[in-house]
Amino acid sequence: MKNRFIKDMMKKIITILVFTFFISFTLFNLHAEDIQCIWTDVEKIIAIGDLHGDYESFLNILQQTRIIDKEHHWIAGKVHLVQIGDIFDRGSQPKEILNLLMKLEKEAEEAGGKVHVLIGNHEMINIAGRAFDFTGYVSLGQFVSFLPGKYKEEIETKFRKSLGENSPTETSSNSSFDPNLEVEWRKFLKDATSSRNHPARRKYFQNLIEKYGEWIINKNAVIKINDIIFVHGGLNEKYSKRKLKDLNKAIQKEMKSLAAATKSSFSRNVQSRIVYDSNGPLWYRELAHGEEKYFLDEVDRILKNLKARYMVIAHTPKLIDNKDDMKRFNGKIWIIDTGISTVYRNGRQSALIVENGEFKPWLGVPRKRKPTSSEDTIQFQEGICINNIALYSFLNALPRQ
């Protein structure tokens, strides 16, 4: 009798779990399918490239292009703002950027405008629990800002106890950690970076996903506004043949699976065909540095497949001396990753303004005199993409599903 009761209960539990999973899966797919990714008749678009945690540079660009006022409120009316991905890593304040974009999303909608935040490879890496796998990606400021508050307090208490009489006096600083304990925090980050099983890693990723995961996952990777495609890395000919709705839905589904695995079991065994594809929308680079004479016909075919005239990309940083340096392939491809974050010493702030079909780049003042030789240009590219070799080794080592 007892065994029969247990079996009946197990059947009921399994039925409930299966039903719950089915409902959750169905609701997610319905939501993903409802996400719009094509807009027409938009008079003005302002696109901004990779930010990499530089909140202050982002604020300046928004103010200089008259998107926000001094109190950081939306004043751009019906403008469509496109942030093309890579909010995370290298810099220290991605959390502040996320919070501002979430606020501006609501304000823009109320004014008849729109804020589009696209998924970049660094968003994916953080959702997938892989950001610590690359040296220098997770800065100290970013690391501490995404740790849960109570956990952060516990760590600082341990620091103070270990320092004993040498423990610094607490401050009323508004920073995400006590600056008097920065040396201890840097040691802690080094330990967390070098050990995949470090508990702080799990705390970091779980808290990030809990607070921002759903918002990020339900963003598009590729959008079309008027006759312009916006995508972080780029679209090759293969991906250009897919419907944008289907492509975005597939990426959102993979991102959701990665987030669930990271948050629960930290499992790496998740089927991801697109988000880890080195030729996929989050990683593709050929449109940014491929020989134009060899790729021009392919670019024409890509744009024809997409029923578009232009594509705006980021991901691959480019040394910009003047506005013409932002365009390639006779102005059909525009690159807006100009090393906006101050972690790039030779970069500069920028935005691409498209108004009534006319492309009008806005460029901030260069941080230092621009190098002109091809050797300096290569050094600039390598300095920004310092982990490129490791990154592609990582991507190519992944099993092909």
Structure confidence at residue 35 (pLDDT): 87
Q: Are residues 338 and 204 in the same domain?
A: yes
- The reported pLDDT for the residue numbered 264 is 82
Residues 258, 191 share a domain: yes
Query: In the prediction, which pLDDT does 372 show?
Result: 47
Q: Are 132 and 201 in contact (CB under 8 A)?
A: yes
Nearest to 235 by CA among 308, 294, 292, 131: 308
User: Does 67 lie in the same domain as 6?
Assistant: no
Residues 49 and 167 both lie in one domain: yes
CATH number of the domain encompassing residue 342: 3.60.21.10
- pLDDT tens digits, residue range 230-266? 999 999 999 999 999 999 999 999 999 999 999 885 5
Dihedral of CA atoms 321, 364, 110, 84 in degrees, nearest 10, equals 40
pLDDT the model gives residue 20: 44
Structure tokens belonging to residue 144: 């501490």
Q: Which structural domain, as residue segments, surrounds residue 61?
A: 40-397
Taking 70 as the pLDDT cut, the residues of the chain under it are 1-33, 165-175, 265-271, 369-401
Are 173 and 188 part of one and the same domain?
A: yes
Same domain? 107 vs 63:
yes
Tokens of 273: 């065909």
Number of domains in the chain: 2
18 and 64 both lie in a single domain: no
Q: Phi/psi of residue 55, each to 5°? A: -65, -45
Please report, to the nearest 10 degrees, the dihedral formed by the alpha carbons of residues 271, 275, 278, 284 taken in order.
160
Query: What distance in Å separates the CA atoms of residue 312 and residue 222, rounded to the nearest whole number?
Result: 10
Q: What is the pLDDT of residues 131-169, one digit of tens each?
A: 999 989 999 999 999 999 999 999 999 999 988 766 665
Residues 9 and 157 in one domain: no
- Cβ–Cβ < 8 Å for 232, 86: yes
pLDDT given for residue 179 in this prediction: 83
76 and 124 in a single domain? The answer is yes
Whether 232 contacts 313, CB under 8 Å: yes
Looking at the structure, tell me whether residues 253 and 389 fall in a common domain.
Answer: yes
User: What's the predicted TM-score (pTM) here?
Assistant: 0.85
How many whole angstroms separate alpha carbon 237 and alpha carbon 299? Answer: 8
Same domain, 228 and 360: yes
For the chain, give the mean pLDDT: 86
pLDDT of residue 378: 37
Do residues 104 and 159 both lie within one domain? yes
Confidence at residue 389, expressed as pLDDT on a 0 to 100 scale: 41
